[in-house]
Amino acid sequence: MSEIREVDVAIIGAGTAGMGAYRNAAKETDSVLLIEGNVYGTTCARVGCMPSKMLIAVANAAHAGEHAKGFGVHYEAPKIDGRAVMARIKSLRDRYVGLVKDSVEDWPARHRVMANAHFIGPDTLKLTPKDGFADFTVKAKRIVIATGSGSVLPDSFDKGPNVITSDAVFDWDDLPKSVLVFGAGVLGLEIGQALHRLGVRTVLLGKNNSIAQLSDPSVCKTALKVIGDAMPFHPDHDLDRLEQTKNGLRAVWSSDQDGGDEVFEKVLVAIGRPPNVAMLNLDVTGIALTDNGVPLFDKTTGQCGDSTIFIAGDANADTPLLHIAARQGQTGGTNAATHPEMNHSREYAGLSVTFCDPQIATAGRTYRALEDDGVAFCTGEIDWSDQGRATVMRTNQGLTRIYGEKQTGRLLGAEMIGPDAEHMAHLLAWAIDAGQTVEDLLDRPFYHPCVEEGLRTALRQLAYELNLTKQAPVPRSLDCGPGA
């Protein structure tokens, strides 16, 4: 008979959500076990946020000379040392992963185990240790699922070691000569544009004319043109053939507008990161599951139905962002430790950024969400092509649209592609989180000359559309002038 270990709280997964859950649970009870089936180190540090931003930083440095031409400043074409680029990225990546690993390994050894886990009952887990020791059973009063998400490579792409997911990019020793990127979501767009700027022959293939996290048709249309003007991008394609040849991987694709037939050294499949729940055997828990096998849960507590099982982070397939995973992990960990007493955390205003150039961001509720929910709202916008500071900096591309509630004038959300979108989105998300109205924001200072003045232009138009003012919006060409 296998060993049975009893604990108050078991946490499956030691990523961002799992670490947050452990820290908070351990404040309430010493009877806690953190279970990790792979390696310590978060998705963010290993294959996500941090190494992708390292790649983008290098790419932007390489692109700086090309951008400078518009100012009359000329540089020789950059010489890209692919091995040096990847060595720096891997070194920094390993440093950040090491910091996470050290943090976990500083926790008491009795509180953690390296093992694969799956449910054999609503409160019971079977563990298979990574070190080769015998399987054992954990009976837990409460369980937190924090198994994160993983890259996916459909069978249709199984063409050998040169067909990869984004996880493999940051283990390269050198930059490839050519890459075909499937997927114009956040990862595909960020990595694809960065490789293009680093001199890698890159083609980006999307589906259904969608790009990144955008849902506003006007902003999406602008983004498709801006990105398409900057690199080879086919936003709606059908893959006709992918085959290995002696010269590399031959891809043949078609669309209503154009097609292609090219050979690439690598094919990068970036079509999403589904939650890691299939291996958990959740059917035996009795909790309700979606058609994709993900538990239904309360967003304010992390609790799955009325069970003693909680879920947090990317595993719940809700909002796969680090700051959300951290918050959900903390809430789930506390509630697992104090159940049946429950802490309800409010939901943050939405905030999502794609670090392409120009940046793409959303704040608050998206256009699609407002439309789907039948919310009565008006829209204000700024076309960045003629905005003062953006024109000076040669970053005058893109479109920002802001949404306000008709009945109250309350700011609801925004979608954008344009200069400093990461900072614009933060400002708007904080304002939305605070329940501020369009008039509240217009009563704030706008320093001159800043790109934030562009937000004022959009807010003024929105105020006019909401009938909050009878004054027609200032033309954007005057927005940076005296008295603006």
Query: Which burial class, exposed, middle or buried, applies to 434 when counting CB atoms under 10 A from its CB (0-12, 13-18, 19+)?
Result: exposed
Per-residue confidence band for 86, with pLDDT thresholds at 50, 70 and 90: very high
Domain 351-478 has CATH 3.30.390.30: yes
Mean pLDDT of 214-229: 98
What is the tens place of the pLDDT at every residue in 300-325? 999 999 999 999 999 999 999 999 99
Confidence band (pLDDT; 50, 70, 90) for 476?
Answer: low
| pLDDT-wise least confident of 146-160, 237-251, 318-332, 376-390 | 146-160
Query: Which sequence spans correspond to the domains of the chain?
Result: 4-45+91-149+274-338, 155-269, 351-478
Q: Write down the pLDDT at residue 481.
A: 46
Nearest of 146, 132, 163, 159 to residue 23 by alpha carbon: 146
pLDDT of 419 above 80: yes
CA atoms within 13 A on the CB side of 370: 23
Q: What is the DSSP string of 148-201?
A: -B-----GGG--STTEEEHHHHTT-SS--SEEEEE--SHHHHHHHHHHHHTT-E
In tens, the pLDDT along 250-288 reads 999 998 777 899 999 999 999 989 999 999 999 999 999
359-374 confidence digits (pLDDT tens): 999 999 999 999 999 9
Pairing of strands 248-254, 124-129: unpaired
Q: Which CATH number fits domain 155-269: 3.30.950.10, 3.50.50.60, 1.10.10.10, 3.40.30.10?
A: 3.50.50.60
Residue-wise DSSP of 215-246: --HHHHHHHHHHHHHHS-EESS-EEEEEEEET
Q: Is the dihedral of CA 24, 27, 31, 37 positive or negative?
A: positive
Q: d(Cα 102, Cα 284) in Å, to the nearest integer?
A: 35
What is the predicted pLDDT for the residue at 439?
A: 97
User: Residue 251: its pLDDT value, please?
Assistant: 94
Asked whether residue 482 carries a pLDDT value surpassing 50, the answer given is no
Strand (E) or helix (H) holding 127: strand 124-129
Give the pLDDT confidence of 443-474 residue by residue, as tens digits.
999 999 999 999 999 999 999 999 988 777 76
Q: Is residue 163 packed enough to be buried (19+ CB in 10 Å), middle (13-18) or exposed (0-12)?
A: buried
Q: Provide the 3-class DSSP secondary structure of residue 31.
A: coil
179 in Cβ contact with 201 (< 8 Å): yes
Q: What is the pLDDT of residue 132?
A: 75
Same fold, 4-45+91-149+274-338 and 155-269: yes
Of 44-53, 119-128, 427-436, which range is least confident?
44-53
Record: fold of 4-45+91-149+274-338: FAD/NAD(P)-binding domain (3.50.50)
pLDDT (mean) for 182-195 = 97
